[in-house]
Amino acid sequence: MSNKTRIVVAGPRGRMGSEAVNLVDRTENFELVAVVDSRNEGKRVKDIEGLPSLEAPVYEDIDRCFREVECDVLIDLTTPAVGRKHMESAFHHGVRPVVGTTGFTDDDIAELSSVAEEKQLGAIIAPNFAIGAVLMMKFSQMAAKYFPDVEIIEQHHDQKLDAPSGTAVKTAQMIADVRESKQQGHENEKEELKGARGANMDGMRIHSVRLPGLVAHQEVLFGGEGQTLKIRHDSINRTSFMPGVKLAVETVLKMDQLVYGLENIME
């Protein structure tokens, strides 16, 4: 029997999902055993334009996929509603999910965590698989201890549905863990145009830019007396996320609970 990790990718025609299919294809110890697509039932991966020439079958129904195909890990890169359903199905069939889909609510995460715990199955939900972005968050948390005045500017392509990005919110949460709560700016500050100062999280401001041509970028700006500090990360293209996906697949096999955020599996 092969000792490769058997993987199903959901969302294989998507911008992220197609990169994940390529990652599985070129990784020696990984094997693509099926994909779950919203169309193309009964076809093979090789029949889908832009995907590698692989024989793995295409399913529209994830439950049927897990009933018919032996699999260790599900990589889900779809939408929050679909991703949640896919995770529940994975747990039901003893499959460990690695999920990059963003937009899950706190309730979704709490409920999925308790299913993972009940089933003793590892799972990873990572709103950002770019290892450099995780380091940006960690460095920002270090800096915030000394620079409590901080604004976050995140920039993404204009097809992104959620704002602010999961990464911006996560960065603000990590900063809030070490920064004393503070209302920033002038106390009599007034927005002449609603939204001009961005979203407010514990006094920190978050600004979301959406433009064609962008991928995923974030700058964390700190201001102190006579000095500023900028910590910036840029994902130039979607391959930047794949080393994080690979790390998550390798790690989830050894886990028996749900972990939210790639930073929690990085040394």
Q: Is 157 a catalytic residue?
A: no
Cβ 130 to ligand NAP shortest distance, Å: 6
Which chain residues interact with ligand NAP by CB under 6 A? 10-11, 13-17, 36-39, 77-79, 82, 100-103, 126-130, 241
In the complex, minimum distance from the CB of residue 232 to ligand NAP, in angstroms, rounded to a whole number = 17
Please identify, using beta-carbon distances, which residue of 148 and 247 lies nearer to ligand NAP: 247
> Which of residues 11 and 122 has its CB atom nearest to ligand NAP in the complex?
11
CB of 19 to ligand NAP, least distance (A): 8
For residue 45 the two structure tokens come to 């991966």
Q: Please identify which of the residues 93, 156, 207, 233 carries the catalytic annotation.
A: 156
Instruction: Supply the minimum distance, in Å, between the C-beta of residue 26 and ligand NAP.
Output: 18
C-beta of 64 vs 197, nearer to ligand NAP? 64
Toward ligand NAP, which CB reaches closer, 37 or 263? 37
Q: For the chain, what is the radius of gyration of the CA atoms? A: 20
160 catalytic residue (yes or no): yes
Q: Which is nearer to ligand NAP, 213 or 226 (CB)?
A: 213
Which residue, judged by CB position, is nearest to ligand NAP in the bound state?
14
How far apart are CB 69 and ligand NAP at their closest, in Å? 15
Contact, 22 vs 52, CB < 8 A?
yes
List residues with catalytic annotation. 156, 160
